[in-house]
C-alpha cells in the first residue's frame, strides 16, 4: 500500500460502517464508458421514442443476455444497445441518468469516455453526440454539484485512418473534451497501431489515456506508455505478470483505472476474491476503482468498492487511499483537487470520531 500518512486511525472505523462510508466518501470516477451506463429500461424507452426495433422482446430479456464469456461477447451486445441513440436528447438522457446516480454515490467529478465512431458510423453526426453529452454535463454541475469532463475514445478494432477522420470531425468541438483514449477489442490491436494519431492529439494539447493490460499482455501497457505517452492506464491488471513493469509503474506513479466487477463479468478473474486489487495496492501502485460499463457489469461505483472490500478484506485505510488516488489521478484543476482532498479527509476524520 502507498506510504501516505493517513489523517485518521482506520481501527476506529468498524467494518460494519465501511459499506456506507464507501458509498458516501468524496471520490472521482475515471473509467466510465457513457454508452456502458445505458440501462435496459432506458434502451427500450429510447428505442420506442425513435422507433428502433431491437432483437429482444423487452428489457428483462435483454438483461438476461448479459452472460459474457470475454470482452468481444460483451461488445456485441454493447453496440446493439447503442444503436438506439440517434438524437441529442438521447445522449443527454443517457449521460444525465449516469450523473444523477454517480452523484448519489459520492462522485464529485467524472472523466467520461465516449465512443463517437459507434455513432458516426451509423450516420449520427458528431455534433449530435457532443451536444447532448455537453448539456448533460452542464445540468449535472448545476443540479448535482458533480463536475464532468469527456474523453474521446478511438475504437481500436478500426483503423488509424478512421481515428484520424474522427479526430478531424471532433476538432470544431475541441473545447468540449479534454483528452483521448483507446478502447474496444484489445486482442490483436496493440497501441502501436495508433502511434501517429496519438502524437497528433498530444500536439493539440489533449490528455492521453489508453486501455491496456486487460486482456492484452503487459507489453501493451509498456507500448501505451512508450509509444502513446499515456498518462493513465485503463485496467492494467496484467502488469503483475511483469515485475519490472510493476516497479516502473510504481516509480513513475502511473495511475491505473481498475474495474473489479468488469474484470469479473468479462472473465478476466474467476472470482472477485481472486481480483489483484490488493496486490496492486501492496505494490505501491496508484490504483483507482471504477465501474467501466456499469449497466452491463452489475454495479456502479459504490458496488465496485463494496464488493471488492468485502471479498478482499480491505479496510478504511485502503478506502481513503483509493479515493485519494482517484482525486490525484484526475485531470481536474489543482484548486478543485485540493477542495476534494480536504473534504475526503474531513469525511474520514468525522467517521473515525463518531
pLDDT digits (tens, 9 = 90+) for 218-241: 999 999 999 999 999 999 999 999
Binding-site annotation, residues for Zn(2+): 31, 33, 211, 292
How far apart are the C-alpha atoms of 95 and 144, rounded to whole Å?
13
Q: Which of helix, strand or coil describes residue 216?
A: coil
Provide the CATH number for the domain around residue 235.
3.20.20.140
Nearest in space to 91 (alpha carbons), one of 58, 42, 53: 42
Active site residues: 214
Please report whether residue 124 resides in a domain.
yes
Question: What digits encode the pLDDT tens for the residues 85-144?
Answer: 999 999 999 999 999 999 999 999 999 999 999 999 999 999 999 999 999 999 999 999
Please report whether residue 2 resides in a domain.
no
Please report whether residue 185 resides in a domain.
yes
Please report whether residue 21 resides in a domain.
yes
Residue 181 — φ and ψ, nearest 5°? -135, 180
How far apart are the C-alpha atoms of 134 and 129, rounded to whole Å?
9
pLDDT for 2 beyond 80: no
- Kindly give the pairing relationship between strand 27-33 and strand 107-114: parallel
Please report whether residue 337 resides in a domain.
yes
pLDDT score, position 132:
98
Starting at the edge strand found earlier in the chain, the sheet holding 107-114 runs: 27-33, 107-114, 147-155, 179-183, 207-212, 232-235, 255-258, 286-289
Binding-site annotation, residues for substrate: 293
Binding-site annotation, residues: 31, 33, 211, 292-293
Write the burial class of residue 46 (CB in 10 Å: 0-12 exposed, 13-18 middle, 19+ buried).
buried
The dihedral formed by the CA atoms of 309, 310, 311 and 315, expressed in degrees to the nearest 10: 40
pLDDT for 3 beyond 80: no
Domain carrying residue 78: 10-353
Please identify which residue in the block is written with the cell numbers 471532433. 170
Please report whether residue 24 resides in a domain.
yes
Buried b (16+ CB within 10 A) or exposed e, 1-39: bbeeeeebeeeebeeeebbebbbebbbbbbbbbbbbbbb
Please report whether residue 5 resides in a domain.
no
How far apart are the C-alpha atoms of 190 and 206, rounded to whole Å?
21
Total domains present in the chain: 1
Please identify which residue in the block is written with the cell numbers 475526503. 344
Question: What is the pTM for the complete model shown?
Answer: 0.96
CA atoms within 13 A on the CB side of 328: 15
Question: What digits encode the pLDDT tens for the residues 196-206?
Answer: 999 999 999 99
pLDDT for 1 beyond 60: no
Please report whether residue 216 resides in a domain.
yes
Amino acid at each position: 500500500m502507498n506510504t501516505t500518512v493517513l489523517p485518521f486511525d482506520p481501527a476506529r472505523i468498524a467494518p460494519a460502517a465501511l459499506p456506507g462510508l464507501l458509498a458516501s466518501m468524496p471520490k472521482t470516477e475515471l473509467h466510465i464508458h457513457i454508452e456502458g451506463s445505458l440501462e435496459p429500461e432506458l434502451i427500450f424507452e429510447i428505442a420506442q421514442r425513435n422507433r428502433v426495433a431491437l432483437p429482444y422482446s423487452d428489457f428483462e430479456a435483454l438483461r438476461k443476455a448479459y452472460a459474457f464469456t470475454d470482452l468481444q461477447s460483451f461488445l456485441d451486445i454493447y453496440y446493439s444497445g447503442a444503436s438506439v441513440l440517434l438524437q441529442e436528447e438521447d445522449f443527454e438522457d443517457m449521460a444525465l441518468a449516469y450523473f444523477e446516480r454517480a452523484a448519489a454515490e459520492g462522485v464529485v467529478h467524472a472523466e467520461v469516455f465516449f465512443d463517437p465512431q459507434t455513432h458516426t458510423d451509423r450516420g449520427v453526426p458528431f455534433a449530435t453526440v457532443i451536444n447532448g453529452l455537453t448539456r448533460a454535463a452542464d445540468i449535472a454541475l448545476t443540479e448535482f454539484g458533480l463536475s464532468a469532463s469527456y474523453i474521446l475514445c478511438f475504437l481500436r478494432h478500426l483503423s488509424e485512418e478512421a481515428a484520424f477522420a474522427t479526430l478531424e470531425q471532433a476538432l470544431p468541438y475541441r473545447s468540449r473534451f479534454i483528452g483521448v483514449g483507446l478502447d474496444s477489442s484489445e486482442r490483436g490491436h496493440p497501441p502501436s497501431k495508433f502511434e501517429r494519431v496519438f502524437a497528433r492529439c498530444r500536439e493539440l494539447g489533449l490528455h492521453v489515456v489508453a486501455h491496456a493490460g486487460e486482456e492484452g499482455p503487459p507489453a501493451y501497457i509498456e507500448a501505451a506508455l512508450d509509444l502513446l505517452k499515456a498518462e493513465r492506464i485503463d485496467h492494467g491488471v496484467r502488469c503483475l505478470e511483469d515485475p519490472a513493469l510493476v516497479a516502473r509503474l510504481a516509480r513513475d506513479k502511473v495511475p491505473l483505472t481498475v474495474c473489479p466487477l468488469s474484470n469479473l463479468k468479462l472473465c478476466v478473474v474467476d472470482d472477485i476474491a481472486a481480483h489483484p486489487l490488493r496486490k496492486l495496492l501492496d505494490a505501491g501502485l496508484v490504483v483507482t476503482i471504477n465501474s467501466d460499463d456499469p449497466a452491463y457489469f452489475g454495479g456502479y461505483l459504490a458496488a465496485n468498492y463494496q464488493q471488492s472490500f468485502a471479498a478482499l478484506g480491505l479496510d478504511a485505510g485502503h478506502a481513503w487511499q483509493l479515493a485519494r488516488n482517484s482525486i490525484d489521478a484526475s485531470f481536474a484543476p489543482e484548486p478543485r483537487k485540493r477542495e476534494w482532498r480536504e473534504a475526503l479527509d474531513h469525511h474520514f476524520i468525522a467517521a473515525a470520531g463518531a
